[in-house]
Structure 1
Amino acid sequence: MTLSRLLTSRYSCRAFLPDEIDEAIIDRLFALGQLTPSWCNTQPWRAYLTRGAVTASFARALSAHAASQPADPDLPLPRGYTGVRDERRREAGHALYAALGIERSDRDARAAQMMRNFTFFGAPHVAVVTTPVELGVYGAVDCGAYVSTLLLAAEELGLGAVPQGAVALHSPFVRSWLSIPDDESVVCAISFGRADPDAPVNTFRTSRVDAGEAVRRVTESRSS
């Protein structure tokens, strides 16, 4: 499968079948992820991986914690969303709720859907990705590249996957539950498995603006 095909076919899966994935496929997934380029080849990422009953136990514990405790992420949250970034965020949220048949005014249903992040949308596997604290933003950037590679590799292997920043909102709890060392920051999670083909939420797709809106061509040189 070509890169362009992978990029256009991949989506964030939010409903999974319960079947666990063969270890050989999981090994292949993370072997491909390890090919991600990184700053000075530090390969700073670490993935804490669960399957089956352990995933379910983690989901129950994290859901209970998230329902009663405020967010406490390791990495700082965005200071805000303004302009086109806010418009894109809102568009994506409205389209997601539309796919689920949730009205914009139904705050309870929207909150319940948000809480599904903490059950990993029913995925049989979740990988929590961390970065060394000492590497700061550069380690987090490398981990972002690692996550992207894993998402594309999952698509190639016929898996559904979704990156989840929400899991990192409760970093101290996640660290404690998974026995993550204090010198690692929780970046995000990736939940994966086989996509449920009958789930309406899996028909949802985000839009993309034209590349010209992101690329600025510099055509004049400046003297020093």
Structure 2
Amino acid sequence: MNKVHKINTIYCWLFTLLLLSSKLFGAPQTLRFFTSFDTPDIKLAQAILEEAFKQNHYHTIFILEAYRRSISRANSEGDGEVLRVANLKQIDPEITGNLVPIPEPILEVPVFIVNHNPISNFTHYNDLKPYRNGVLKGIRVLEKNVPNIHTISTYPSLFKLLNKKRIDNLITSDYFIEEITYNPDFQTEFYIHTLLKIDVFTYLNMKHVKLVAPIAATLKTMKKDGTYKRVESIIRSQYYSIQ
């Protein structure tokens, strides 16, 4: 027993020394961010966040979860949520009480309209009221704002409905327009119009509220000094053959 006790004591001391040495040498803290998407848009946001937090001496890891579980874990045990709309706390108040947005947008995401019409006079969601509008299920900001909506589970199904003119407009929100044009179901006779643009934000858990201002400042600097565009170019080249 004495020998076992000595070994355990040695392990405890070694672990303590490791912790002390990491603090002594300033090892960066690792922050866990949650998201419910696995798209090029999200990969771009993650790459930007990784760089911004790296410049502030933090490591980041990203964990994929279902929509509400992602937000709930960011709100409770995690350190943040990668990308959500500005009014997230109004949409899901019961699971966002501990989340605070970084005020500098992580992305400005266009809302695209895909249809058969070469001319578009749409400037607001209300302009879509007379039409049958298809939206991919799960894009909450579109589900909430697009009138006369038909929510469909997959993009191929949406494109087929549009091709058969069973819907008038396909409404989607993607940072990269290539997400539409590279889709195998996209037809050359379709036209793409920009309805509006949405600022989306990273949310931090309140335990990191002191990081809100410095990370916001870093994001602003990255947009000015070309870092943001460089990261965007890298992500685009990873997913699309044409830059």
Scaled by the length of structure 1, the TM-score of the pair is: 0.26
Larger-Rg structure: 2
Which structure exhibits the higher relative contact order, with contacts defined as CA atoms closer than 8 Å and separated by 6 or more residues? 1
Q: Which has the higher helix share?
A: 1
TM-score (norm 2): 0.25
